[in-house]
Amino acid sequence: MTLIEVEHLRKTFLLAVRQTGRFASLRGLLSRQTRPVHAVSDVSFTVAAGELVGYIGPNGAGKSTTMKMLTGILHPTSGRIKIAGRVPYQERVEHVRRIGVVFGQRSQLWWDLPTIESFALLRHIYRIPLARWQANLQSFSTLLDLEPFLNTPVRQLSLGQRMRADLAAALLHDPAILFLDEPTIGLDVVARERIREFLEHINRENGVTIMLTTHDLADIERLCPRVVLIDHGGVVYDGPLATLRTRFGRWRTLIVDLNQSVDHVEVPDAELLRVEGTRVALRFDRDRTTAAALIAAVAARYPIRDLTVEEPEIESIIRDLYEQPGSLA
Amino acid sequence: MEFPGSTATGISLLSAVRMPINLRLYYEIAIRAFRRASVYRAAYVAGILTNAFFAALRCFVYLAVYHAGTSVAGFSPNDAITYTWLTQALISIGAGWLAWDLMQTIRSGDVITDLSRPWSFYGYWLSRSLGERCFNLLLRGSVTYLIGFLFFAARLPHLTEALAFVVAIGLALLVSFAYGFIVNLTAFWLIDNTGVMLIANIVLTFFSGFLLPLAFFPPWLRQVALLLPFQAITSLPAEIWLGHLTGAAVWRAFAVQAGWALVLMLLAIRMLHFAMRKVVIQGG
Ligand SMILES: Nc1ncnc2c1ncn2[C@@H]1O[C@H](COP(=O)(O)OP(=O)(O)OP(=O)(O)O)[C@@H](O)[C@H]1O
Ligand SMILES: [Mg+2]
């Protein structure tokens, strides 16, 4: 069942251009010159119920802007969004009742009051039946280990504790969809892992559909069977992470162990990365040659004892993609 | 009471009627705002001392210029002293000062959270403000006034005057909240709206009668002040406290206050509606 439908979504901000020269500020008052910034220029995708989708892209790609439109806070300049049959920015109240939102850099908790107070208020905001609220709080407390700081004012929480509390806060009303904008930002390895486990749990066990942005690719590798990669406001890839690897990871490394040590190896269509005694690493472009051809070429010159072909790290693929946007076409 | 503010969502007033008003929610918000105001003890103690200090200072000026036994524009020396302590006591509930909290959430982008709730955004801020100001009135306001009562013989009203005053303060809170909301909301358009806030604050301080009773204004300026909403925030409740308004005049004062409360609230909600249509949330 399709839960989220996004078609040709576009958001253009008009930035006021600072006037320069004489009486600049006065002229700025009289005529507001603006310059358009296309934060999101053309984004389309659909998400089925129960999916866990990673929405990734370099800084300024338009991820947060998309998230804000999906949560109904920002009106799109053009394009269509439909979530669970509703247009978020038109039927906002009904929409936000059924979603949970966490913006990693912000907190939805009352800063000066004990954490539990914010949870208690959420019960009234979403009219959560008491028994349901208690059960959820109990379950999240266990999963996220909230117990120790339920009575501590939010301003005294560590970032990791605050993020856990914010996640629980976003889920107390059993939303069908959870939007997360950088939920692991600034957290240490242990805290990240705990949050990943939690997200995996609520996705699997509670069937919550999750869309998350992150710059931590370990989050993606661990959690997201599917990624939507955007750049300059448009979708450049949408599919399984594994396919991203095969499609864009052109560079492979062939590692061969030879019978005797050499100090140089020369084979066509491959670049010598390093030689360590009898072990030789060769880099090749999958589009120009195949592993089989390369192995044959090496074997013809040097007797091979053992070999492996290494796939590129997802991290390096993404880094390449981010660095050369043209490479995606 | 009703908050016709699901307009916060860009939906018309009608939907507020369709949607049952969750009064309990707004009560819970107010309670938390009350509790939060009570957290910072140092802040309210400092607030009381500052208010009392300036009240005393203003009183010494009056005592210096008043000749014994005379009265100015219907104000006896004791009236002037009472007026001064009262207005200083009401600072923390908006008599002479605008709250900046909403504007700060707009500038920081934190407003995003409050906008993505199934509630009336106006109702939320109103409840917050009322909760906080109830605390301020009960603690900061009353202690400040007590100092004036003990050391400057500021007046205590009769029971009926006190009751009328409570009603007037309730209405004043609605007016001052709506005004503050409108001014804060300009941050959606201006981003840096500190200039607007400062000017709005000066206008409030002056035309509400906070600095000087409206009775002391030159007649033409007084006429201007009476046409503006600000007298409903400070001057009218203070005149009731002083016993200057009695009988029908009290009811007229209530009517003026209620009228402005309604007009400003509708204006604020209208403005919120426009803000929502062009809303831009700051920051990633
Ligand atoms: N309120 C705004 N006014 C003007 N331009 C904006 C505004 N918000 C975002 N932008 C611009 O839109 C583009 C996309 O921003 P967005 O915050 O969506 O990126 P992002 O993908 O979330 O980046 P990051 O990974 O850094 O969080 C950027 O160029 C940004 O400068
Ligand atoms: Mg972002």
For A123-146, what is each residue's pLDDT tens digit? 999 999 999 999 999 999 999 999
The pLDDT of residue B71: 85
Residue A95's nearest CA partner among A105, A86, A104 is A86
For A191-202, what is each residue's pLDDT tens digit? 999 999 999 999
- Give the closest-approach CA distance of B101 to chain A in angstroms: 13
Which residues lie below 8 Å from residue A281, measured CB to CB, with a gap of 6+? A253, A254, A255, A272, A273, A274, A275
Q: Which residues in chain B have their CB less than 8 angstroms from residue A74's CB? A: 279-281
**Cα(B250)–Cα(B262) distance, rounded to whole angstroms?**
18
**Cα(B54)–Cα(B96) distance, rounded to whole angstroms?**
13
For B25-36, what is each residue's pLDDT tens digit? 999 999 999 999
How many domains, in total, are found in chain B?
1
Give B222 or A105, the one with higher predicted confidence: B222
Q: How far is the CA of A139 from the centre of ligand 2 (A)?
A: 30
Alpha helix stretches (DSSP H) within A172-324: 189-204, 217-223, 241-248, 291-301, 314-323
Instruction: Please say whether the beta carbons of B125 and B30 come within 8 A.
Output: no
Q: What is the average pLDDT across B39-55?
A: 91
**pLDDT over threshold 80, residue A320:** no
Instruction: Test B116 with A71 for CB contact under 8 angstroms.
Output: yes
Please report which confidence band the pLDDT of residue A329 belongs to, taking 50, 70 and 90 as the band edges: very low
The pLDDT of residue B6: 38
Q: Which residues in chain B have their CB less than 8 angstroms from residue A120's CB? A: 28
Mutate to test the pocket of ligand 1, among A37, A105, A235 (most ligand atoms within 8 A of CB): A37
Q: Which residues in chain B have their CB less than 8 angstroms from residue A103's CB? A: 112-113
The pLDDT of residue A318: 75
Of all atoms in ligand 1, which is nearest to the CA of residue A11? 12
**Ligand having the closest approach to the CA of A15:** 1
Q: What is the average pLDDT across B70-75?
A: 87
For B81-108, what is each residue's pLDDT tens digit? 999 999 999 998 888 889 999 999 998 8
Least-confidence region, from A123-127, B115-119, B240-244: B115-119
Which residues lie below 8 Å from residue B249, measured CB to CB, with a gap of 6+? none
Please report which confidence band the pLDDT of residue A301 belongs to, taking 50, 70 and 90 as the band edges: confident
Instruction: Test B118 with A96 for CB contact under 8 angstroms.
Output: yes
Please report which confidence band the pLDDT of residue B58 belongs to, taking 50, 70 and 90 as the band edges: very high
Which residues lie below 8 Å from residue B118, measured CB to CB, with a gap of 6+? A93, A94, A96, A97, A125, A126
Q: How far is the CA of A201 from the centre of ligand 2 (A)?
A: 25
Residue among B22, B35, B109 minimizing CB distance to A127 = B22
Instruction: Please say whether the beta carbons of B77 and B66 come within 8 A.
Output: yes
Instruction: Test B29 with A110 for CB contact under 8 angstroms.
Output: no
For A95-111, what is each residue's pLDDT tens digit? 999 999 999 889 999 99
Q: What is the average pLDDT across A168-183?
A: 96
Q: What is the average pLDDT across A164-189?
A: 95
Give B263 or B66, the one with higher predicted confidence: B263
Answer whether A116 touches B (CB < 8 Å).
no
Residue A172's nearest CA partner among A74, A101, A233, A81 is A101
For A274-287, what is each residue's pLDDT tens digit? 888 889 999 888 88
Two tokens at B7? 């307009």
Instruction: Test A124 with B277 for CB contact under 8 angstroms.
Output: no
**pLDDT over threshold 70, residue B5:** no
Q: What is the average pLDDT across B227-247?
A: 96
**Cα(A213)–Cα(A220) distance, rounded to whole angstroms?**
9
Q: Which of B19, B117, B122, B282 to mutate to test the interface with A (most CBs of A within 10 A)?
A: B117
Q: What is the average pLDDT across B172-198?
A: 93
Residues in chain A: 329
Please report which confidence band the pLDDT of residue A26 belongs to, taking 50, 70 and 90 as the band edges: low
**pLDDT over threshold 80, residue A225:** yes
The pLDDT of residue A31: 62
Which residues lie below 8 Å from residue B211, measured CB to CB, with a gap of 6+? B96, B205
The pLDDT of residue A179: 97
Pairing of strands A52-56, A226-231: parallel
Q: What is the average pLDDT across A13-42?
A: 75
**Cα(A47)–Cα(A239) distance, rounded to whole angstroms?**
11
Tokens 């069908």 appear where? A176
For A235-270, what is each residue's pLDDT tens digit? 989 999 888 777 777 778 899 999 888 888 888 888
Residue among A74, A101, A113 minimizing CB distance to B32 = A113
- Identity at A63, one-letter amino acid code: K
The pLDDT of residue A21: 64
Ligand 1 touching residue A299 (CB < 6 A): no
Mutate to test the pocket of ligand 1, among A9, A11, A12, A13 (most ligand atoms within 8 A of CB): A13
Instruction: Please say whether the beta carbons of B241 and B165 come within 8 A.
Output: yes
User: What global pTM score does this model have?
Assistant: 0.85
Two tokens at A232? 């300059």
Domain that holds residue B59: 2-280
ipTM greater than 0.90, yes or no?
Answer: no
Q: What percentage of residues in chain B have a pLDDT greater than 90?
A: 72
Residue minimizing CA distance to atom 10 of ligand 1: A39
The partner residues of A282 in beta bridges, in order of sequence, read: A254, A272
Please report which confidence band the pLDDT of residue B128 belongs to, taking 50, 70 and 90 as the band edges: very high
**Cα(B134)–Cα(B153) distance, rounded to whole angstroms?**
25
For A47-75, what is each residue's pLDDT tens digit? 999 999 999 998 899 999 999 999 998 88
Task: Give the single-character DSSP code of B72.
Answer: B
Q: Indicate the average pLDDT of chain A.
A: 89
